[in-house]
């Protein structure tokens, strides 16, 4: 199973992104995860997605359609998830990046093998669990 950070969903669907190669990479990853049935998302993904897309002034119908698609891949928080999350919030960096740590703990709770993100800040969380965190290069051209 593969957990996608919200920024991958955003780069795949925003009308305007930093670079076209960034969007192409995000689209390819999203299609691959959906096609293989390996995509895992959380309710936090949906909340962050809706917030950023609205702030970017994307069309309401576009946001609703994407949320409808993404909802099919959302898993619920597992038992003891909150305890595990609170245990990881043990330093200032984790507190300042609590949404990112949520994604990492959620992916771990759902036995995901990998998290994919464009966010370099996830590097600090790589040692928390036996979970591969793939940080995408924003300027890398997809294969």
CATH number at residue 79: 3.40.50.1010
- Asked whether residue 103 is assigned to any structural domain, the reply reads yes
- Asked whether residue 64 is assigned to any structural domain, the reply reads yes
Q: What is the pLDDT of residue 41?
A: 97
- Asked whether residue 143 is assigned to any structural domain, the reply reads no
Average pLDDT, the chain: 89
- Asked whether residue 141 is assigned to any structural domain, the reply reads no
What is the domain range of residue 55? 2-135
Q: Look up residue 70 and give its two tokens.
A: 């993404």
- Asked whether residue 142 is assigned to any structural domain, the reply reads no
Q: What pLDDT digit, counting tens, does each position of 110-132 carry? A: 999 999 999 998 988 888 888 89
pLDDT above 70 (res 142): no
Q: Look up residue 82 and give its two tokens.
A: 């909150």
- Asked whether residue 76 is assigned to any structural domain, the reply reads yes
Percent of the chain with pLDDT over 90: 62
Q: How far apart are CA 115 and CA 79, in angstroms?
A: 21
Q: What pLDDT digit, counting tens, does each position of 20-47 carry? A: 889 999 999 999 999 999 999 999 999 9
> Cβ neighbours of residue 76 under 8 Å, at least 6 residues apart?
none
Owner of token pair 């702030």: 55
- Asked whether residue 129 is assigned to any structural domain, the reply reads yes
Alpha helices (H) along 40-80 = 43-55, 60-71
Please count the structural domains in the chain.
1
pTM for the model stands at 0.86
């Amino acid at each position: 199973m593969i957990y996608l950070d919200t920024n991958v969903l955003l780069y795949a669907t925003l009308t305007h992104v930093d670079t076209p190669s960034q969007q192409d990479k995000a689209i390819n990853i999203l299609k691959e995860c959906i096609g293989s049935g390996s995509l895992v998302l959380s309710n936090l993904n949906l909340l962050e997605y809706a917030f950023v897309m609205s702030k970017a002034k994307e069309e309401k119908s576009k946001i609703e359609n994407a949320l409808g698609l993404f909802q099919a891949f959302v898993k619920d928080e597992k038992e003891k998830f909150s305890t595990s999350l609170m245990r990881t919030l043990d330093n200032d960096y984790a507190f300042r990046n609590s949404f990112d740590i949520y994604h990492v703990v959620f992916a771990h709770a759902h036995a995901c093998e990998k998290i994919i993100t464009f966010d370099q800040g996830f590097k600090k969380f790589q040692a928390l669990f036996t979970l591969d965190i793939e940080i995408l290069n924003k300027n890398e051209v997809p294969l």
